[in-house]
Chain A
Amino acid sequence: MSDSQPNGGPHVVLEASGLRPRSLAAGLAAAAVAVVAGLTIGPVDIAAHRVALQLLDGLPGLTIDSGLSDAHAAIVEQIRLPRVALGLLVGATLSVSGATYQGAFRNPLADPYLLGIAAGAGLGATIAITSNLGDGAGVFDAVPLAAFAGALISVTVSYVAGHLGGRSTASLILAGIAVASFLTACQTYVLQANSDAFRQIFAWILGRIATSGWSEPALMLPYFVVTVAVVLRYRRALDVLAVGDEEAAALGLEPRRIRLVVVLAASLGAAAAVSVSGLIGFVGIIVPHTVRLAFGSSNRLVLPLSVLFGGAFMVLADLAARTALAPAELPIGVVTAFLGAPFFVLVLRTSRREIW
């Protein structure tokens, strides 16, 4: 053989897919741009370099004069920064959860709401609002708590019902659809009986990245950390699951156990995101697919890049939501679909990569 090496073996370079420095840099750059835009743009425009100095000043042990007035410094640190942080956390969590669901169910249409999270959270919030338990403001209000409980209960019921029905992922998806329909019917019934709460419930469903200080991002942070840590740990296992349960088992994996772990982790994060920000649709589908189209299909890169691009996308969507009709705010679910859908069609048209 002409191409054989002195040591005898054929000289073939074989690289596995993975997170390349260039794609990681692109993701970090997107997140950085979104953060800077989110901090500087608003009713008062604040220069980016002053924002940067102000943030450095906030670090322990550093004292830097950013030149910002106290009022502007407060806008950056107490209003915009928590909101940007929440956007990053919610967007990253919903995107990585969606990517996980798509991998675990081998289904491009799977999103974090597949197993009834949206319907469960919606019913929980509706019951809390109509019983006047809370008004949806504040983290420890009854509305997010009820939404969180509803989301987790519906995922659990779907999982149990799906496994009773059979071993396939299809039976699990069908169970999720049944549970979601049932809970949506319950929600409609409660709504019918309390039509005066309709506006408030509708506003909750459309979603928002609203903060009162740091309590929302602080609440979201642990769920984000758990979800991302578990799901990223399983990124290679999810690549093996792509050949189906039977072949994955023949390769030495326990597919059902892996699916249970990653779906529970993704659901926990999605439930937390929904309870803090309402039902923000579309992010969990378009961000992972855009990453696949741009960088490749391996979960080794799709999962970490979904974290970065998902966070960036949500911060920018929130920026559009609060500036487009300022001082009024658009519901963020409207913005994610309004900006996200045309963008996604454009990516679909221009990418030549086969993803599904």
Chain B
Amino acid sequence: MTPAVRVQDLDVTLDGTHVLRGVDLAASTGEWVNIIGPNGAGKTTLLRALLGLVAFDGEIAIDGLSDRRRSARARKVAYVPQTPVIPPGMLVADYVLLGRTPHRGVFAAETANDRRIAAGVLSRLDLGGFGERTVQSLSGGERQRAVMARALAQQADVLLLDEPTTALDLGHQQDVLELIDALRRERGLTVIATLHDLTLAARYGDRIAILARGRVAETGPPADVLTVQNIAEHFGASVRIVDDPEGPVIVPTTAASAQNGDQP
């Protein structure tokens, strides 16, 4: 089976900085791959390369995409950016409908179907009554969900999420991740996400890739990748890993406890 997304030997240089070096990554259809790594590791750059937003060497293949036009790619790949631009004065309804742009074409009006899809994702993201508000007027968490709604309205096969939960409270973090999980079961959505919360990354991902200094350092199931040694090496963090039936829980340890030697 061809994977939904396959990246081979990807090199990206930005303004003379070699940001990604020989990255290999694949996600099969319906799979959820989380990319973790310290700040500046190149996670955002990898997603931007997948979107065709930066020049690269190497190969990126999106299953079913041969058309090189941007609109064709946007029907296949949707994106939740790490720091979305908030358009001044734009209503939430219009903002979510932007997700339908690759389907309707630049010059055409949105159809009743577009409006129905946008209304559907808004209500699934708890934003049902917010259509007439401006995006600016939303709280941080509501904004993040509005951005998510726009990406889901795109109805693409591949969803790229760049730290989609950082502004959300615990309940909404779960809601958003559960919704994405449900959609991938319903529709075979392929998800590639960057997450800073390693416990959440273990809970919701099939596979985790550690990106460090522009390379994929480790990749595999959460329990194999999230080891004390890997986290110490790539994040410079000292943690304890607690086994839980639903997956590993990553607990930061203090310097004092590390000296007391309560690590196994």
Contact present for B106 and A12 (CB under 8 Å): no
Q: A14-B122, A250-B51 are in contact. Are A242 and B106 (CB under 8 A)?
A: no
Residue of A9, A108, A251, A298 most packed against chain B (CB within 10 A): A251
Q: Spot the interface stretch: B19-27, B110-118, B212-220.
A: B110-118
Min C-beta distance of A145 to chain B, whole Å? 34
Q: Quick one: closest A residue to B102, CB to CB?
A: A252
Q: Which stretch of A40-48, A233-241, A268-276 is in the interface?
A: A233-241
Across the two chains, which residue of chain A brings its CB closest to B71?
A: A252
A252 touches B84 (CB 8 A): no
From B93, B101, B154, A240 is in contact (CB under 8 Å) with B101
Report yes or no: A17 in contact with B94, Cβ–Cβ below 8 A.
yes
For residues 49 through 99 of chain B, which have their beta carbon under 8 Å from a beta carbon of chain A? 51-53, 69-75, 77-79, 81, 84-85, 87-91, 93-99
Q: For the complex, is A354 an interface residue (Cβ under 8 Å from B)?
A: yes
Mark interface residues in A289-306 (1 if CB within 8 Å of B CB, else 0). Answer: 000100011100000000
A247 sits at the interface (CB 8 A): yes
Residues A12-41 near B (CB distance < 8 A): 12-18
- Contacting residue for B101 out of A252, A292, A297, CB 8 A: A252
Asked if residues A242 and B53 are in contact (CB atoms below 8 Å), the reply is no
B2: which A residues are within 8 A, CB to CB? none
Are B89 and A246 in contact (CB-based, < 8 A)?
Answer: no
In the complex, the answer to whether A252 meets B91 with C-beta atoms within 8 Å is no
**Complex alpha-carbon distance, A280 and B108, angstroms:** 34
For residue A343, give the distance in angstroms from its CB to the closest CB of chain B: 20
List the count of A-B residue pairs having beta carbons below 8 Å apart.
120
Is B74 within 8 A of A15, CB to CB?
Answer: no
Q: Name which residue of chain A comes closest to B88, CB basis.
A: A356
Is A329 at the interface (CB under 8 A from chain B)? Answer: no
In the assembled complex, B242 has its CB within 8 A of some CB on chain A: no
Min Cβ gap A141→B in Å is: 39
Interface presence of B253 (CB below 8 A) = no
Is residue A339 contacting chain B, with contact meaning CB distance below 8 A?
A: no
Minimum distance in angstroms from B213 CB to a CB of chain A: 24
Asked if B134 and A252 make an inter-chain contact with CB atoms under 8 angstroms apart, the answer reads no
Q: How distant is the Cα of A250 from the Cα of B161 in the complex, in angstroms?
A: 13
A-chain residues with CB within 8 Å of residue B51 when the two chains form the complex: 249-250
CB distance from B167 to the nearest CB of A (A): 17
Question: What's the nearest-Cβ distance from chain B to residue A237, in Å?
Answer: 5
Cβ contacts under 8 Å, B131 to chain A: 12, 14-15
Supplied contacts A12-B122, A250-B51, 10 more A-B pairs, CB within 8 Å = A16-B97, A18-B109, A244-B85, A247-B81, A252-B71, A258-B106, A292-B89, A298-B91, A298-B94, A355-B88
Give 6 pairs: A residue, B residue, CB < 8 Å, sorted on A. A10-B119, A17-B91, A234-B107, A242-B88, A247-B81, A247-B85
